[in-house]
Structure 1
Amino acid sequence: MAWFVLSSFVDRTIEMLHSEAVQQIGVTDELSELKNTMSSIKARLSDAEEKEELVDHRLFVDLEKVEELVDDLSSEALRQQLAGTLRRDSITKKGFIYPSPGRHMEDVGYEYFRNLCWESIFQEVEKDENGIVSKCRMAPLMHQFVIKAAEQFVIPDLTTFEELWLPQPGQLGSPQLGQFWLAQHVSFGFHLDSSSILVRLLWDRAYNLHTILLPSQMRLETEETLSESFFDVIILRHKLLRVLDLHNLGIEMLPDSIGKLKHLRYLDVSQNSAIKSLPNSITMLLHLTVLKLSSCYGLQELPRDIHKLISLRHVEIDWCYSLTHLPRGLGHLTQLQTLSEFVLSKDNRHSCSLSQLAALNNLRGKLKIKNLENGIYDSKAAILKEKEHLTSLTLAWDLDVPEDTAKYQLDLLEPPSNIKELLLVRYDGIEFSNWFSSLNNLVKFSLRNCKCRHLPPLSHLSSLKVLILDQMTDLKCISNKYENNHPSSSSASAAAAAFFPSLEELRLTELPNLEEWWGGDNSLKATVSSLPSFPRLSKLMIEDCPKLSSMPLYTHLKEWLVLDNTSLETFQHIMNPFTSSQVPSETNKEWSAASTSSAVFASSSLSRLQSLCIIGIKKLDISYSDEIKWEGLRNLRFLRFDYLPKLNELPEGLQHVTTLQELHIWRCNMKTLPEWIGKFKFLTALGISACPYLNSLPEAIKSLSSLMTLEIVDCPILLERCKSENGADWHKIEHIPDLFFL
């Protein structure tokens, strides 16, 4: 098998070296040397196969030299292409540098990965919201096999690492030490907290590494920062590096010598917040494919000659808050697939403009365009519409612009029709673009700090799963059209299916003037039974919407419900809709049917709910009233009462929620907790905060055998009673393993 694989590689390399495309590069001496080396390797392979001998390890040394020469050859081709003396298509035809037309190497690699998952090599696969695998675990048996196969090169933990190069007196050191010299790929499975350890290892114990990975780096701010000499050591001794991971190492500046790593494909300097700029010498890395800079909070600019990195395919600059612009010429990097943020600047002479973004049609995944107030674009050519591989788009303005300008910009920034996520930040237009109605594949739609008074039609978006509206002071209604799915309607099932058929999560936050879901004629919204409902909504948050009173029904909530500083009408409508202001009068002909089913509906509409938070509803008094049908909350696991001035006692009906696992009581005026709290046999956590009048804990708390955590914060009377050993309530809580008092 080894003969076959190596022979196949050698044959393909020899064929490539004799191709017309390679001859055009013009490096005659290097080509001649490479051909002679490959011919020698071919002869030795044939001899070994004929004699059925093992492949000589020296052959692998020669193949490594071949790899270096091929790399030099491709580097020369890239330099000539950059200078304009070599046509790209003459090389592409032979697949020498670029992947075959119509296929990206990332797609091919992902296809291989999926095949490995299918063969159960990888397990516990987790996918993101777009169905792409984001995390997995190697099958245990396969993992053991890999560790065994690589045991001479594995450094399992910090203790073993110390023993590896710090032998005891009289010893020559670990047997792995000699093997470490031969390693080409090193991944440190532990945090390196000292530059001296890493420098000493990479300088004294290894030579010409191809890969350095730091997957477990967890640097603290108090740790020593790394000097430029640290990188000079790496560059001097490991000039053949292909993959270099320097993330979260406290780097303040990369040295100019980084440009000497001419074989480098992958460079990760993310999470180094002190870096302000990168040396322009980095643009000499003609093979660089991946550049990761995310969370470099202090980074102000990218190299001015970044357009020379013609192999660059992925640039990650998420959370680089200080980045003021992108360098002019970025639009020439047409192979770019990842450009997480596109930052616009007023100075178009030295920075990248929207016209250059229009040329990057291979972009995929997520894209955020910032500072759109600087993005005036005169051409009618599509900027984003042709980028069919984009899945997520954020359009963000940082400063106010005139309403008509904002609308004009939004019209020009039409996304591809298959976009799945769309976020608009500080959009000052009152109306939305016509293209919005064509986004039939939209899964998540978010508006933040926008000035619109109502939204475009949304309920027909059959794929929409998440809707987030945040910080919109002018918003008065969500829709200016009422959707009626009255049960007596002949088209009831069709109407119900048309009302947000896939919506699973709804967040309405900081909407101070939002009054109702529907604007316009209110006559159709008189009865509960005529209100549409969300067929799949599982998560609902309504926060700081004090005027909201009219809305659909939420009958399928399962995961969580958060009501924070809402109106009393909103609370009643959600928790018990037949007591809200939308209830029909008794003279209404629909009231008979509605009242008959009200008890059933109220007890079952939230029967699947697992988490409930009630916060800051100052007028709410549920201590003695029947506002909540507690017995219907049959699956509630988490409950939080917070800043409810009228909550003097826990509601009597709460004792029926025996499924409760966590109970939090914050900023309330109650004086005692009831003895029936002992019915919460599954309670694992109890938190009490800022309840100054609470003067004791119930005796029944001793019977809560599942209670693992008790937190008491800013409750002076209670804290005094819960003091260790001599507190009046200490005997009630001493069995709880985790006590947190403050």
Structure 2
Amino acid sequence: MGGIGKTTLAQFAYNNGDVKKHFDERIWVCVSDPFDEFRIARALIEALKPGSAKDLVEFQSLMQHIQEWVEGKKFLLVLDDVWNEDYYKWEPFYKCLKNGLHGSKILITTRKDRVARCIRSTNVTSVNVLSEIECWSVFEQLAFFDRSKEECEKLENIGRQIVSKCKGLPLAAKTIASLLQSRNTEKEWQNILESEIWELEEVERGLLTPLLLSYNELPSKVKQCFTYCAVFPKDYGIQKKELINLWMAQGYLSEKGAKEMEDIGEEYFNILASHSFFQDFKKDDDGEISTCKMHDIVHDFAQYLCSNECSTIEIHGGEESAMSSFGEKKILHLMLTLYRGASVPISIWGNVKRLRRLRSLLVESDEHSWSSKVLPQLFDKLTCLRALKLNRDRWSCVNYIKEIPTNIEKLLHLKYLNLKGIKKIEKLPETMCELYKLERLDVSCCVKLRELPRGIGKLRKLMYLHNEGTDSLRYLPAGIGELIRLRRVRDFVVGGGYDRACSLGSLKKLNLLRDCRIRGLGDVSDAGEARRAELEKKKNLLKLGLHFGHSRDGDEERAGRRENEEDEDERLLEALGPSPNLKKLRIDEYRGRRNVVPINWFMSLTNLTVLFLFGWRNCEHLPPLGKLPSLESLHILGMENVKRVGNEFLGVEGDTDGCSVIAFPKLKLLRFRYMEELEEWDLGTAIKEEIIIMPRLSSLTISSCPKLKALPDHLLQKTTLQELYIRRCYILEERYREETGEDWPKIRHIPNIEIE
């Protein structure tokens, strides 16, 4: 029987503390279907030693490495979700695993009894992982959640009959329970129990019936979004934002404004998650879902529904297997994953009757994967593409595409173009400006990219320009100021001294911007130009970065153009009046000295929740930030001239009427890092004046502050501190050392303490 995600008993065996002590190596491999010996072998090696499989392209060399790794070791191998019942396909694995010490075990989880019988051996333990009783437990937790005792008693009998139809499959029980959460009457539950769909035998003898029941309840647009997910491989970590972007490119989220489409995409994703079509969620720092996966059975179900319109192919070398995978399918959405030593087979595009209709081509490639002849042919023939991705998200991989062919202009329907991490390209062709429907362009981490097309102003539908990590990009073209639908420009590079470069004033018309970082402010000396940007009028702007450094090329030459760096930066910052709705702000390399920053500038940020201040080399006192009413997360880094933090940091004074004053009323996370001259942090005067300081603080990090003598007792003992991290702070490490430090008693109550 399959589990929910990783099956319960197998997961217990894998993670149990006693089991960990019993085995030298523990290895978990999700096998799934279709059976791929090469993929399983790579997964085994990666589990034993991450990164060691990337150079191995021959199956026999993989087997040899497995044999060497397990030799003389006692191991537990969990083969999860096994379908293949051909013993001879498993035989090479068992032969190379025989070198393990006596007592090694292989634990198999499967939904097919014949699998367990066919591949049983002396050191294989076959397990029927979950019983119907445990399925009922899963069902009961979801279907009866938040119901009265009387309701539960009325519905229990019908519920048990429904669970019995799930045939011991906990995912089925979970899915049908999610559906029944919104059904409150016995009649509604009875209708589900008596549905004719339970009699279907097309897919796994009806095991997917609960999924079909749940799927039929979805709105038609959400159904389309769900089946699109079949384009990803099994066990693939799906990035939520990326998925919504691809839905948008296919027109699944209706043709409204970007904000509306994003909101609809979030809504559709949440609907699918609530119906248990997604699982294994991971969250970002803001607590939002960032990635998820699909259970193998859900993936099979999506493939079944989309009639093979979605396909995913892994190419390890050679062309034949890839070509044969297409068969008679009429593919609309294709993902190719290319491993080292493989290349995109040119012959795939030779007969494109079935590929001319391709709407999505998502290619993830390792190094040495591209022939210079492939892309021109691809652009010539796949003219129906809406989404094209030519990258690999893993930062360590190198992609050897050296240029984008000029005939990219033939992709007239393209809305989404992802070139992330293509490290060799230096410029993009001007013909790209003929892609009038393009809405999203991602060139982030293209580290050698020096310029964007001058005619970029023609891309009037462009809403997102992802260009972070493009440090060689000298400027943005002036035409960027005409793209009035732009919502995100990660690096708005101001090109001081370059012809046809954008200026700060180019921001004036971009009133839909929600996320923008302005880079190269060190090259700007005209405060009037900054005022023309009219940042304070951009009510949609929620995230802003201001980088006062110079553009990358010719720093020394252009630095001399500004007579007084300190005064220039102060005037410039004041002219860049911030949007009142900002939620996240970062200011880097600011060189102002007088009054640190204009006080009113910060005090207007009543909605600000996250603030980063980095590398203010002339700053001697921290800004008075304590009055910011919404601030939850504060990061102060690289203030190399700050020696003391005192009351000025709080920005508040005692009230003469005796009313309490709160400094940093909502602050939860505070980080001081790379403050190499900081010696003293004193809040004594404020405490005497009965000022309440950081009442909600839960996480405090002090890192690379080697001269800091002590932390304020008030923060350690009078706040809701849950986490304290001290790293590379030699005096503090001694002072708060566990048991032996003189101030250890002041922090011992904090639940999570890390001192390095």
| TM-score interval for Structure 1 and Structure 2 normalised by the shorter chain | 0.5 to 0.7
Task: For 2:269 and 2:658, locate their aligned partners in 1 and report how far apart those are by CA, in whole Å.
Answer: 47
**Number of the residue aligned with 1:610:** 752
One-letter code of the match for 2:592? Answer: G
Task: For 2:584 and 2:475, locate their aligned partners in 1 and report how far apart those are by CA, in whole Å.
Answer: 24
**Number of the residue aligned with 1:633:** none
2:264 aligned to which of 97, 105, 108: 108
Task: For 2:610 and 2:279, locate their aligned partners in 1 and report how far apart those are by CA, in whole Å.
Answer: 28
Task: For 1:559 and 1:151, locate their aligned partners in 2 and report how far apart those are by CA, in whole Å.
Answer: 51
**Number of the residue aligned with 1:667:** none
TM-score, structure 1 length as denominator?
0.57
* Pair 1:203 & 2:350 matched: yes
Task: For 1:484 and 1:317, locate their aligned partners in 2 and report how far apart those are by CA, in whole Å.
Answer: 36
Contact 2:597 2:623 in 1 (8 A): yes
- After superposition, the Cα gap between the structure-2 partners of 1:198 and 1:368, relative to the gap in structure 1 and judged at 3 Å, is farther
2:404 aligned to which of 254, 272, 277: 254
1:458 aligned to which of 625, 635, 638: 625
1:440 aligned to which of 606, 610, 613: 606
Q: Secondary structure at the match of 1:340?
A: strand
- After superposition, the Cα gap between the structure-2 partners of 1:279 and 1:512, relative to the gap in structure 1 and judged at 3 Å, is same
- Deviations along 1:403-441, whole A, 9 cap, x unmatched? 221111111222222222211111011221222012222
- After superposition, the Cα gap between the structure-2 partners of 1:559 and 1:164, relative to the gap in structure 1 and judged at 3 Å, is farther
- After superposition, the Cα gap between the structure-2 partners of 1:241 and 1:539, relative to the gap in structure 1 and judged at 3 Å, is same
1:384-403 aligned at under 5 Å gives the runs 384-399=535-550, 402-403=565-566
* Pair 1:425 & 2:588 matched: yes
Q: Secondary structure at the match of 2:728?
A: strand
One-letter code of the match for 1:537? Answer: S
- After superposition, the Cα gap between the structure-2 partners of 1:458 and 1:385, relative to the gap in structure 1 and judged at 3 Å, is same
Q: Secondary structure at the match of 2:412?
A: coil
Per chain length, whose mean CA-contact separation is higher, i.e. which structure has more relative contact order (CA < 8 Å, sep 6+)? Answer: 2
1:616-627 aligned at under 5 Å gives the runs none
- Deviations along 1:159-188, whole A, 9 cap, x unmatched? 8x9899449xxxxx95x64323x2122123
**Number of the residue aligned with 2:371:** 226
2:728 aligned to which of 564, 574, 577: 564
Task: For 1:393 and 1:254, locate their aligned partners in 2 and report how far apart those are by CA, in whole Å.
Answer: 31
- After superposition, the Cα gap between the structure-2 partners of 1:377 and 1:481, relative to the gap in structure 1 and judged at 3 Å, is closer
Q: Secondary structure at the match of 1:445?
A: strand
Contact 1:539 1:561 in 2 (8 A): yes
**Number of the residue aligned with 1:617:** none
Q: Which runs of 5+ in 2 are unaligned?
A: 1-250, 393-398, 551-558
How far residue 99 of structure 1 moved from its aligned partner, in angstroms, is 4.6
How far residue 575 of structure 1 moved from its aligned partner, in angstroms, is 7.2
1:582-661 aligned at under 5 Å gives the runs 603=745, 605-614=747-756
* Pair 1:241 & 2:385 matched: yes
* Pair 1:536 & 2:684 matched: no
Contact 2:698 2:723 in 1 (8 A): no
Task: For 2:457 and 2:751, locate their aligned partners in 1 and report how far apart those are by CA, in whole Å.
Answer: 53
Alpha-carbon RMSD across the aligned residues, in angstroms, is 3.9
1:144-155 aligned at under 5 Å gives the runs 144-150=300-306, 152=308
How far residue 275 of structure 1 moved from its aligned partner, in angstroms, is 0.3
**Number of the residue aligned with 2:522:** 373
2:440 aligned to which of 286, 290, 295: 290
Contact 1:396 1:426 in 2 (8 A): yes
**Number of the residue aligned with 2:503:** 353
How far residue 214 of structure 1 moved from its aligned partner, in angstroms, is 3.2
Task: For 2:492 and 2:274, locate their aligned partners in 1 and report how far apart those are by CA, in whole Å.
Answer: 37
How far residue 296 of structure 1 moved from its aligned partner, in angstroms, is 0.3
Q: Secondary structure at the match of 1:315?
A: strand
Task: For 1:137 and 1:319, locate their aligned partners in 2 and report how far apart those are by CA, in whole Å.
Answer: 27
Q: Secondary structure at the match of 2:528?
A: coil
Percent identity at matched positions? 27
One-letter code of the match for 2:705? Answer: D
One-letter code of the match for 1:432? Answer: V
Task: For 1:452 and 1:563, locate their aligned partners in 2 and report how far apart those are by CA, in whole Å.
Answer: 23
Task: For 2:421 and 2:451, locate their aligned partners in 1 and report how far apart those are by CA, in whole Å.
Answer: 16
Contact 1:124 1:137 in 2 (8 A): yes
Q: Secondary structure at the match of 1:257?
A: helix
One-letter code of the match for 2:428? Answer: L
Task: For 1:465 and 1:547, locate their aligned partners in 2 and report how far apart those are by CA, in whole Å.
Answer: 24
**Number of the residue aligned with 2:331:** 183
Q: Secondary structure at the match of 1:554?
A: helix
- After superposition, the Cα gap between the structure-2 partners of 1:254 and 1:533, relative to the gap in structure 1 and judged at 3 Å, is closer
One-letter code of the match for 2:389? Answer: D
Task: For 1:576 and 1:440, locate their aligned partners in 2 and report how far apart those are by CA, in whole Å.
Answer: 43
How far residue 549 of structure 1 moved from its aligned partner, in angstroms, is 4.3
Contact 1:213 1:245 in 2 (8 A): yes
2:715 aligned to which of 533, 553, 557: 553
One-letter code of the match for 2:371? Answer: L
Task: For 1:246 and 1:258, locate their aligned partners in 2 and report how far apart those are by CA, in whole Å.
Answer: 13
2:457 aligned to which of 298, 303, 307: 307
* Pair 1:143 & 2:299 matched: yes
1:410 aligned to which of 556, 573, 577: 573
How far residue 112 of structure 1 moved from its aligned partner, in angstroms, is 3.2
Q: Secondary structure at the match of 2:453?
A: coil
One-letter code of the match for 1:558? Answer: Q
- Deviations along 1:250-280, whole A, 9 cap, x unmatched? 2100111111221211111111110000010
Task: For 1:575 and 1:532, locate their aligned partners in 2 and report how far apart those are by CA, in whole Å.
Answer: 26
- After superposition, the Cα gap between the structure-2 partners of 1:104 and 1:331, relative to the gap in structure 1 and judged at 3 Å, is farther
- Deviations along 1:563-595, whole A, 9 cap, x unmatched? 423435x85379799956xxxxxxxxxxxxxxx
Contact 2:606 2:629 in 1 (8 A): yes
**Number of the residue aligned with 2:671:** 507
How far residue 523 of structure 1 moved from its aligned partner, in angstroms, is 6.1
- Deviations along 1:376-401, whole A, 9 cap, x unmatched? 34154453223333332211112575
Q: Which runs of 5+ in 1 are unaligned?
A: 1-94, 168-172, 581-601, 615-742
Contact 2:624 2:650 in 1 (8 A): no
- After superposition, the Cα gap between the structure-2 partners of 1:143 and 1:550, relative to the gap in structure 1 and judged at 3 Å, is closer
How far residue 196 of structure 1 moved from its aligned partner, in angstroms, is 4.3
Task: For 2:658 and 2:630, locate their aligned partners in 1 and report how far apart those are by CA, in whole Å.
Answer: 21
Task: For 1:484 and 1:427, locate their aligned partners in 2 and report how far apart those are by CA, in whole Å.
Answer: 20
One-letter code of the match for 1:232? Answer: P
One-letter code of the match for 1:417? Answer: P
- After superposition, the Cα gap between the structure-2 partners of 1:338 and 1:554, relative to the gap in structure 1 and judged at 3 Å, is same
Contact 2:626 2:652 in 1 (8 A): no
How far residue 124 of structure 1 moved from its aligned partner, in angstroms, is 4.7
- After superposition, the Cα gap between the structure-2 partners of 1:300 and 1:530, relative to the gap in structure 1 and judged at 3 Å, is closer
TM-score, structure 2 length as denominator?
0.56
Task: For 2:282 and 2:700, locate their aligned partners in 1 and report how far apart those are by CA, in whole Å.
Answer: 21
Task: For 1:377 and 1:296, locate their aligned partners in 2 and report how far apart those are by CA, in whole Å.
Answer: 31
One-letter code of the match for 1:436? Answer: F
Task: For 2:543 and 2:520, locate their aligned partners in 1 and report how far apart those are by CA, in whole Å.
Answer: 18
* Pair 1:344 & 2:494 matched: yes
How far residue 225 of structure 1 moved from its aligned partner, in angstroms, is 4.8
Q: Secondary structure at the match of 1:544?
A: coil
- After superposition, the Cα gap between the structure-2 partners of 1:548 and 1:389, relative to the gap in structure 1 and judged at 3 Å, is farther
Task: For 2:574 and 2:495, locate their aligned partners in 1 and report how far apart those are by CA, in whole Å.
Answer: 20
How far residue 338 of structure 1 moved from its aligned partner, in angstroms, is 1.7
1:481-520 aligned at under 5 Å gives the runs 481=648, 494-495=660-661, 498-518=662-682
One-letter code of the match for 1:404? Answer: D
Contact 1:391 1:419 in 2 (8 A): yes
- After superposition, the Cα gap between the structure-2 partners of 1:562 and 1:437, relative to the gap in structure 1 and judged at 3 Å, is same
- After superposition, the Cα gap between the structure-2 partners of 1:119 and 1:604, relative to the gap in structure 1 and judged at 3 Å, is farther
Task: For 2:737 and 2:668, locate their aligned partners in 1 and report how far apart those are by CA, in whole Å.
Answer: 16
One-letter code of the match for 2:292? Answer: C
- After superposition, the Cα gap between the structure-2 partners of 1:415 and 1:545, relative to the gap in structure 1 and judged at 3 Å, is farther
